[in-house]
Amino acid sequence: MISRLLSYRIPCYLLFICVLNFAGEFVPYISPGIMLAWNSHRVQTINLKIGVGVAYNPSQHHAADMGFVNLTYGKRICVEQLLGDLDYRYLDIEGGLFKGFFVGGSGIGLAFYKEESGKLLPVPKIAFFAGDVVFVRTDIVFRKVKKDIDIGGMLVAPINEYVFKAW
């Protein structure tokens, strides 16, 4: 019950509160992405994600100087089938800033591992990223005593009203 509450309601409320605190122009967006990475277990991983959020421009003067906040849902898959117990789904609140063509940010949330009993085990997760369309990204999951760290490159395709205006 508590993990269900944490996994759905609290991140949505936090995202809503963050959006209400910002003044200026809001640009809603969806950002699907794929990441190829190597983790601390020396295993190649694939990370698929979809983020839904808003970019905001507090000054409404420079579209390149904006911030953003989103709710991201994703799944990490280990390429080696024998290590399927390292696969997880996750839910993050991410935020950051655009400065020209550079984007930097971080996220905090929960990763959900499937236990042998079939129950989902929620564990804390953080992320750091920087780039533009192609990002260097690090995901750190605090599972049991050890950290599970992925470092790799993520390709993200932000879909927003500016993309549609360019067409």
pLDDT per residue over 67-110, tens digit each? 899 999 999 998 876 656 788 999 999 999 988 778 999 999 99
pLDDT of residue 130 exceeding 70, the answer is yes
Which long-range contacts link 127-132 to residues 24+ away (Cβ below 8 Å)?
A: 127/92, 127/94, 129/96, 129/103, 129/104, 129/105, 129/154, 130/102, 130/103, 130/104, 130/105, 131/102, 131/103, 132/101, 132/102, 132/103
Could you tell me the domains of the chain? Answer: 2-166 (2.40.160)
Stretch 101-127: mean pLDDT: 91
